[in-house]
Structure 1
């Protein structure tokens, strides 16, 4: 059973890593937020059918929890996909991976910690320091002098950092709600409200555009069914079996899969400076997760 859980989690992380490149390519045929709206709507329809017997379990308390969790999930995806349109798949994946570092860092605020959770330990602060040092190398080009040139920062990288903050708040919200709500109704509600918030925000934030092409249909199908509905279910099942630290460390492979896929299909190559930053980010994430923290992220899909 554990071997199956490890293999399935590895498959999920591989799918998430590959979707960065898949979605980046599909954004040639659709505006970022319109893509998200269709993706989440399809994912919700799949879950609504798969978990149709759980509709009658939903109550007022669960609806409120679904609104809160769904809002942060929608914000995370909107920032991520908007940023992906302006940056590279591997950079997007590494910056998104900061959520593993930000969750324990945000947990220094007592009000944000789930009931009974411990305050972060020393390794959380060390991991955060390394991760942010790495993100500077990854995203900020070198200036003419010793200091980095902050004026040359890619706007897509800034949007993606907003995604990692939103996904961090999503994980913290799940830490408060998931122990009291069964997974099936929580999955239905958060994906459903996520799709609803996207429907509301998309026409406000952009001029939605979509040209139906084979690559767009393929990207939507994989992103909605495999990378959202199926992956979400598999991850929740696997995390009930595997140690939290093992799951978190498997999740650190997501940006690695994204970089490998981007290298193979898009020919993306990192220079010495951004590659060093990526390695330092992975080191910071690993140090953060080698010692158990108050809360481990339960979702940070691409």
Structure 2
């Protein structure tokens, strides 16, 4: 029980860090291109994780084999899809909208579970998906807040993160956490560097006035250490001690933290319809992950109540 509570609290801290870094990243990519930013961010995180691995957890290297490498590469690819499209989307949309659309990945998890885990969503999941979809429409289409290219990019990112949640749950209990995390983080760094070389002015990375500027340096340091190295290590380590329902529910807090920090730090404002949309998305995410008692369990409880009532009636006679 203590392990589960500690795991839940750690995952809640991860959600806070992820949500609160939206504004920092958005400010940084105004000076440094998205792929270049992610390449440096994940490269620094890989160095931190690799250094800790070789200095203090070298025994985990005995588990290095093709299976863990392929699993780490796959998780890294999913992370790359998520962060690449999220960071690019932040160029064309607001931090609040990006946070809530990214949070929609929690609702996508039951859908993908049908095909990947052969688990069909229950009534709560279906209602949650409908509510979140309606909220997404209000958030991105109502009033002056129309659907933008950035919203579409962040939606693709949500798909990547949903897949990452499922696959992390699958692999977390099979491999050493630190080694698996280092492989996936290194994969994101490599893919981001290649993308920066192909699609961006990668030479801007060498400009000291950009890298050492306050916005870029602060964003790189905070996201590399807290939102990447520590966050994904904690997720990989602790997800095995809690249930998928709890993980999804806790991560549903990320868009809430994103909206709050955008309001406090960036002074962003949302229209009434957008606020209503945010509420529907959040309610949908939470409702989709609420546990539902199986019909057999409810029928058993009903029979027990009937039996208890009958017994009491006989005793009274």
TM-score (norm 1): 0.86
The residue aligned with 2:313 is none
Name the SS of the counterpart of 1:51 in structure 2: helix
Alignment of 1:227-242 (within 5 A): 227-242=227-242
How far apart, in 2, do the equivalents of 1:30 and 1:63 lie? 31
The residue aligned with 1:61 is 67
How far apart, in 2, do the equivalents of 1:292 and 1:226 lie? 34
Deviation at 1:215, TM superposition (A): 2.1
Deviation at 1:133, TM superposition (A): 1.0
Cα displacement string for residues 55-98 of structure 1 (whole angstroms, at most 9, x for unaligned residues): 34210121122222211111111000000121111111100001
The residue aligned with 2:171 is 177
The residue aligned with 1:81 is 87
Number of equivalenced pairs: 281
Contact residue 105 and residue 125 of structure 1 kept, 8 A: no
Deviation at 1:17, TM superposition (A): 1.2
How far apart, in 2, do the equivalents of 1:107 and 1:26 lie? 35
Compared with structure 1, are the counterparts of its residues 246 and 108 closer, same or farther at alpha carbon in structure 2 (3 Å cutoff)?
closer
How far apart, in 2, do the equivalents of 1:226 and 1:33 lie? 19
Is 1:200 equivalent to 2:194 in the alignment?
yes
Cα displacement string for residues 187-208 of structure 1 (whole angstroms, at most 9, x for unaligned residues): 1111111211111122223333
Contact residue 127 and residue 288 of structure 1 kept, 8 A: yes
How far apart, in 2, do the equivalents of 1:46 and 1:9 lie? 20
The residue aligned with 1:103 is 109
Deviation at 1:8, TM superposition (A): 3.4
Contact residue 245 and residue 292 of structure 1 kept, 8 A: no
How far apart, in 2, do the equivalents of 1:207 and 1:63 lie? 31
Cα displacement string for residues 137-190 of structure 1 (whole angstroms, at most 9, x for unaligned residues): 1111349xxxxx9xx421111100010011122233334433432222211111
Contact residue 74 and residue 194 of structure 1 kept, 8 A: yes
Partner residue of 1:91 out of 97, 106, 121? 97
Cα displacement string for residues 185-239 of structure 1 (whole angstroms, at most 9, x for unaligned residues): 2111111112111111222233334412122111101101011111222333443
Which segment is superposed worse, 47-56 or 168-177?
Answer: 168-177
Which segment is superposed worse, 93-102 or 201-210?
Answer: 201-210
The residue aligned with 2:50 is 48
Compared with structure 1, are the counterparts of its residues 247 and 176 closer, same or farther at alpha carbon in structure 2 (3 Å cutoff)?
closer
- Structure 2: gaps (5+ residues): 294-317
* Structure with the higher helix share, 1 or 2: 2
Alpha-carbon RMSD across the aligned residues, in angstroms, is 2.2
Contact residue 136 and residue 277 of structure 1 kept, 8 A: yes
How far apart, in 2, do the equivalents of 1:84 and 1:56 lie? 40
Compared with structure 1, are the counterparts of its residues 10 and 108 closer, same or farther at alpha carbon in structure 2 (3 Å cutoff)?
closer
Name the SS of the counterpart of 2:201 in structure 1: coil
Structure whose CA Rg is larger: 2
The residue aligned with 1:187 is 181
How far apart, in 1, do the equivalents of 2:219 and 2:119 lie? 40
Contact residue 40 and residue 194 of structure 1 kept, 8 A: yes
The residue aligned with 2:140 is 139
